[in-house]
Amino acid sequence: MADIARPFVTADDPDRHIRCQDTLQTAFQELVSAAISAGWSEREVLLALADLADHQLLALEANNNTDLLIVLLKRIA
């Protein structure tokens, strides 16, 4: 898999999202190609990756919400 470069812009840079996409592009294409070579259709692979990304974002949000609730509950206790 391609090496993933470290960010070279600050966290508040308005183009950081695009820079991250640029950095991940090669590794993403390699992953898609490997899955297609294994016998999955391009559509199946792309839908699976989109679902995985969505599930990861939902889990991240749920974990962040849980962390906030824990902080609030500790303040009450």
What is the tens place of the pLDDT at every residue in 52-75?
A: 999 999 999 999 999 999 999 999
Q: What is the pLDDT of residues 19-58, one digit of tens each?
A: 999 999 999 999 999 999 999 999 999 999 999 999 999 9
Is residue 39 in a domain?
Answer: yes
Is residue 3 in a domain?
Answer: no
The position carrying tokens 């898609």 is: 32
Is residue 1 in a domain?
Answer: no
Note the pLDDT of residue 45.
98
Q: Which has more confidence, 77 or 37?
A: 37
Domain around 38: 16-76
**Torsion angle in degrees (nearest 10) through CA of 47, 50, 52, 54:** -140
Total domain count, the chain:
1
Note the pLDDT of residue 1.
72
Please tell me whether the overall predicted TM-score, pTM, comes out greater than 0.85 for this model.
Answer: no
The DSSP-derived string for 33-70 is: HHHHHTT--HHHHHHHHHHHHHHHHHHHHHHHHHHHHH
Note the pLDDT of residue 3.
87
